[in-house]
């Protein structure tokens, strides 16, 4: 082969794609390109060769879990084409990479909505980085975190300083950028569990939205969905009603498809026989059971929605959090409905976590359930609806992290099993699965409680049967 026909390669070694934006690097690449152009012009047209400039990325020495690897141009964990609202240094690039790392623990839910909102301005983006650092801390701790470290606190306080500067200008008082920034503060407080501060930020958000002209004045879909998402994630662990109405994108997602046949559900049938006028909770239960029975709750389409604009879980949780059976008269019917509402939230909490939401704290539901079951004024007769109580206790026991609460729940569950003549684990699970079940979500959780629960069943009991006293 003629030497002149061999391709010439010029290698440009970079440590990060952002270096492409540097003036000196661009000038260097242009010089290389023009050199090749000059060489081509000096060669006969019939002997033109293919010349390429190769961009090769070398990752610097990295701390485990912080610095991304780059596989190819535009294909790594930090998008070199994204216009970030701040200049990224080594540390902030690692925090961005953590958000998109495939094997990371960062919350994947609604990322297709809150990530664009985080790019609106520098204040919101600094909170995005702060929150990313909190997820790294959770990953290393193996549990939730309740405090910032120096790195997350730096970005959080920087966001505070930037937003305080912006508030000096009245033009920003009802801007999308300010709404997005307040949402980022709400997310920060929800992640570390500072719900008092979350509620303060939510109150501020409601005032900004009112000043803007109401929720419908938010026309950017990613912001509208992010507002509802941030309201939900902080309301859920407190068991309080969200204040933001459902986005149009969510309104129909929590209901089973119209016109599709509903399979017979024994529990739903028993409920409507005993409580024919109480349809608030059972209608939500029916929708969940229908979605799961049709295998429409965990399809690839639903997972894609979970990562972008929200799946069926988010609006279903809002419906349950808004439902408040005990706010009126505390009748037998309302007490049963409240216990079932809490059981359904505990069930969906595990589903939500499995679909990528994090953190999902269910402590309030466990505590509220125990408060009702231990209060003599709430004692009711469950009759044929005992399987619902059994299912609720099972869901609560698998979610309980406080050992005292867990012990109480398992004791109650064991006593109810004895009253229903369920002497084995298999018989218990037959009843639980007959109420509402998602094998792919709950398939391995039984090992957490099985041994302790069965120890109550096999040991003779001579004390008071608390669950029977409570009407079971």
pLDDT digits (tens, 9 = 90+) for 87-106: 999 999 999 999 998 878 88
What is the C-alpha to C-alpha distance for residues 297 and 436, in angstroms, rounded to an integer?
A: 13
Helices (H) and strands (E) in the chain, counts: 21, 2
Reduced to 3 states (helix: H, G, I; strand: E, B; else coil), residue 368 is: helix
Highest mean pLDDT of the ranges 70-79, 233-242, 448-457: 233-242
> Which of 47, 72, 77, 58 has the alpha carbon at shortest distance from 16?
58
> Which of 405, 396, 397, 379 has the alpha carbon at shortest distance from 472?
379
* Mean of pLDDT over the chain: 84
Q: How many CB atoms lie within 10 A of CB 429?
A: 16
- How far out from the chain centre does Cα 225 lie? 13
What is the C-alpha to C-alpha distance for residues 416 and 431, in angstroms, rounded to an integer?
A: 12
Residue 447 near residue 413 (C-beta atoms within 8 A): no
Query: pTM of the prediction?
Result: 0.81
More confident residue, 48 or 127: 127
Q: Could you tell me the pLDDT band of residue 151, with boundaries at 50, 70 and 90?
A: very high
Answer whether residue 76 shows pLDDT above 50: no
Reduced to 3 states (helix: H, G, I; strand: E, B; else coil), residue 56 is: strand
Answer whether residue 224 shows pLDDT above 90: yes
What is the C-alpha to C-alpha distance for residues 441 and 355, in angstroms, rounded to an integer?
A: 9
- Helix 386-399 vs helix 332-354: angle between axes, to the nearest 10 degrees? 40
Q: What is the pLDDT of residues 134-147, one digit of tens each?
A: 999 999 998 999 99
What is the C-alpha to C-alpha distance for residues 318 and 292, in angstroms, rounded to an integer?
A: 18
Tell me, what's the pLDDT at 8? 56
Q: Could you tell me the pLDDT band of residue 465, with boundaries at 50, 70 and 90?
A: very low
What is the C-alpha to C-alpha distance for residues 221 and 215, in angstroms, rounded to an integer?
A: 12
Q: Could you tell me the pLDDT band of residue 58, with boundaries at 50, 70 and 90?
A: very low
Mean pLDDT of 127-136: 97
Reduced to 3 states (helix: H, G, I; strand: E, B; else coil), residue 52 is: strand
Opening angle at CA 363, ends 392 and 135, nearest 5: 125
Tell me, what's the pLDDT at 69? 36
Q: How many residues does the chain have?
A: 472
Q: What is the percent of the chain where pLDDT is above 70?
A: 79
Residue 133 near residue 95 (C-beta atoms within 8 A): yes
Give the end-to-end CA distance of the chain in Å, rounded to a whole number.
Answer: 90
């Amino acid at each position: 082969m003629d030497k002149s026909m061999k391709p010439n390669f010029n290698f440009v070694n970079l440590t990060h794609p952002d270096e492409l934006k540097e003036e000196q690097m661009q000038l260097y690449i242009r010089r290389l390109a023009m050199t090749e152009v000059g060489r081509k012009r000096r060669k006969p047209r019939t002997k033109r060769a293919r010349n390429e400039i190769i961009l090769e990325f070398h990752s610097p020495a990295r701390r485990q879990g912080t610095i991304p690897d780059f596989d190819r141009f535009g294909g790594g964990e930090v998008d070199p084409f994204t216009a970030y609202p701040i200049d990224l240094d080594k540390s902030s690039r690692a925090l961005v990479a953590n958000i998109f790392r495939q094997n990371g623990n960062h919350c994947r839910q609604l990322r297709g909505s809150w990530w664009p909102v985080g790019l609106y301005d520098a204040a919101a983006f600094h909170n995005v980085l702060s929150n990313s650092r909190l997820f790294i801390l959770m990953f290393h701790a193996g549990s939730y975190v309740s405090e910032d470290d120096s790195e997350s606190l730096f970005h959080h306080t920087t966001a505070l300083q930037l937003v305080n500067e912006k508030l000096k200008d009245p033009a920003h008082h009802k801007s999308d950028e300010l709404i997005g920034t307040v949402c980022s503060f709400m997310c920060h407080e929800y992640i570390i569990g500072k719900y008092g501060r979350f509620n303060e930020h939510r109150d501020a958000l409601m005032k900004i939205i009112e000043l803007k002209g109401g929720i419908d004045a938010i026309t950017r879909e990613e912001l509208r969905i992010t507002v509802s998402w941030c309201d939900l994630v902080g309301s859920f662990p407190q068991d309080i009603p969200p204040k933001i109405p459902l986005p149009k994108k969510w309104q129909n997602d929590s209901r089973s498809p119209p016109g599709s046949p509903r399979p017979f559900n024994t529990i739903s049938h028993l409920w409507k026989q005993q409580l024919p006028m109480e349809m608030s909770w059972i209608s939500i239960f029916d929708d969940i059971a229908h979605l799961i029975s049709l295998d429409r709750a965990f399809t690839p389409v639903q997972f894609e929605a979970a990562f972008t604009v929200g799946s069926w879980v988010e609006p279903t949780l809002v419906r349950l959090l808004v439902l408040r059976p005990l706010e009126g008269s505390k009748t037998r019917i309302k007490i049963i409905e409240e216990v079932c509402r809490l059981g359904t939230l505990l069930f969906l909490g595990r589903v939500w976590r499995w679909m990528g939401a994090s953190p999902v704290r269910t402590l309030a539901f466990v505590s509220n359930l125990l408060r009702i079951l231990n209060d003599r004024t709430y004692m009711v007769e469950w009759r044929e609806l005992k399987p619902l109580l059994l299912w609720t206790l099972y869901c609560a026991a698998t979610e309980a992290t406080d050992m005292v609460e867990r012990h109480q729940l398992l004791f109650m569950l064991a006593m109810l099993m004895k009253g229903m003549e369920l002497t084995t684990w298999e018989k218990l699970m037959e009843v639980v699965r007959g109420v509402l079940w998602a094998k792919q979500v709950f398939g391995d959780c039984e090992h957490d409680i099985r041994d302790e629960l069965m120890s109550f069943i096999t040991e003779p009991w001579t004390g008071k049967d608390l669950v029977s006293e409570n009407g079971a």
